């Protein structure tokens, strides 16, 4: 199940980094990769929320590389 945890973490981090790009630069990486217009207009409130989600994803990166320690009883 460690592979599932790592896969979920990678997907969450990629999504969070995409939202950070939207929040800071109004540029959507997913739309750019799919060939559509990568720029999106957003309100200031939504850009703040997107940026916070992105920073949360960046915070998770070190946990992706830590070894999972099982509780010993």
Helix (H, G, I), strand (E, B) or coil at 20: helix
Prediction pTM value: 0.77
Let me know: does 28 contact 40? Beta carbons within 8 Å.
yes
**DSSP label of 66:** S
Cα 70 → chain centroid: 26
pLDDT at 71: 47
Q: How many CB atoms lie within 10 A of CB 11?
A: 10
Work out how many domains the chain is built from and give that number. 1
> Could you list the residue range(s) of the whole structural domain that residue 23 is in?
2-65
Residue 73 lies in a domain: no
Q: Is residue 29 part of a domain?
A: yes
What digits encode the pLDDT tens for the residues 62-72? 988 886 655 44
pLDDT for 70 equals 52
Domain assignment present for residue 71? The answer is no
41 lies in a domain?
yes
């Amino acid at each position: 199940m460690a592979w599932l945890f790592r896969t979920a973490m990678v997907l969450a981090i990629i999504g969070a980094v995409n939202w950070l790009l939207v929040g800071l630069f109004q540029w959507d990486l997913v739309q750019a990769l799919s060939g559509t217009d990568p720029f999106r207009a957003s309100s200031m409130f939504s850009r703040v929320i997107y940026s916070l989600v992105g920073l949360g994803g960046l915070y998770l990166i070190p946990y992706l590389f830590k070894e999972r320690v099982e509780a010993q009883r």
